[in-house]
Every structure is written in C-alpha cells, then in structure tokens.
Amino acid sequence: MNIILLGPPGAGKGTQAHHLVDERGMIQLSTGDMLREAKASGTEMGKRVAAVMARGDLVTDDIVIGLIREKLEGDKGGGFIFDGFPRTLPQADALGQLLADCGERLDAVIEMQVDDDALVDRITARSTCAGCGAVYNDNTKPVPADGVCTNCGEPHEFIRRADDNEQALRNRLMEYYKKTSPLIGYYYAKGMLSSVNGLGAIEDVRDSIAGVLDA
C-alpha cells in the first residue's frame, strides 16, 4: 500500500509515519532523509545532490523523482509513505507518472487537518531530546524534572527549535497553504483523499489513519 501524508508543519506526519513503519512494515520516504542519504552515498545521483547542495541551490524535482525511483525499484516492504513530497501540483503529476512507470499505484492520501491557533500553541510549547529526538510538550508531556529522557533513559539536553516561535510558525503555515493546499483539491477530485483530525491524541490519530487504510 502506497500513501501520502498531507498536513502543515507540526501536524504530526513524522510521528504517524513512524507508527506505520513499526506496525505495518511500511517504508517512509522523507525528502530530507533521502537527500542526506544520497549525498553521503557516493553514487552518481548522490554526487548530483552533493553538487547542487554545495552551490546552495534548491534540489530540482527531477532529482527528487530520481531518488524516489531508486527506492521504488528496491525493497518495497509493506508499501511506501510519501512524507514531504509532493508539495506542488507538478510534483503530484510527476509522482503519479513515476508510480505508473514502476507498476505501482497510490492507494490513499491522508490529510491531517489542524486548527492553526491550536497548532501554534502546541508547537511553541515543544522541545526534543538531543539524544534520541523524543518530543516533549510543556502542557501535555513536560520534560522530566530529573532531566532523564523517558524514551532513551539517558540524561540529555532538551532543545527548542529556533523557528518554533509564533511568527515563524505562522509564516511556515502560510507558505504551506499557498503551495501545498491545492493538492487537497487535486486528490479529492481523484477520489483518493481522506481527512483525519491531526490535533487529537497521538493514539487517536493513529487509529483514525488505520481506519482509512483498513477500509
């Protein structure tokens, strides 16, 4: 099963993708992770990526599509989760063509809906363990008083991202709505779109996504 997770920054796409990897054996294709992996690989594609990044240029769609093609032609596991791609309508068209070329199909597009104000409140309160990346929240899951991460069991620094402030978040949300929200109408028209409440408890969101996939 191949799916796309759509949602603004901080909606929890990465968290839910990890659940799908653990529970269903799916493979998460995160654009950022693929670019870093390619840059370190030394392959021809990796050299192209490294050269583009060294110049400070944006990686082109054809390079990202090439990286995805390599993944589709390898171990398929329980299917692929596209996280962070596509972001635009041309990318959506390119991904659809690539899947067809590889004998694959897109099974579901899941939009994680959020309320902007609630999302800003949640993200500005979050911090992460510098050791394992576990996420904490001042309101719902405070950093342990003893400084020991409950996930990795080690004492680490707990970090707040510099851009996890209200103005920066609202700018990121605006950029998302301008560029990516047209995909919602695109996939709705194709009958592929399902929506879940992205601001529910992690377990509730997980169950909602499972309901979409199992249907």
Is there a catalytic annotation at residue 47? no
Interior angle at CA 201, CA 139 and CA 212, nearest 5: 160
Active-site entry in 71, 141, 160, 172: 172
Catalytic residue among 47, 161, 179, 190: 161
Tell me the helices (H) and strands (E) count for the chain, helix number first: 9, 8
**161 labelled catalytic:** yes
Closest residue by Cα to residue 115 from 181, 199, 182: 199
| 172 annotated active-site | yes
Contacts from 98-101 at CB under 8 Å and sequence distance 24+? 98/65, 98/68, 98/69, 98/72, 99/2, 99/72, 101/69
- Find the catalytic residue in 13, 39, 48, 122: 13
Beta-bridge partners for 80: 27
Active-site entry in 71, 87, 141, 160 = 87
Max alpha carbon distance in the chain (Å)? 53
Strands (E), 41-102: 80-83
Among 39, 48, 126, 206, the one annotated catalytic = 126
Q: What angle do CA 163, 164, 166 make, to 5 degrees?
A: 100
Q: Is 39 a catalytic residue?
A: no
36 is catalytic: no
8 Å CB contact between 148 and 202: no
Active-site residue numbers? 13, 87, 126, 161, 172
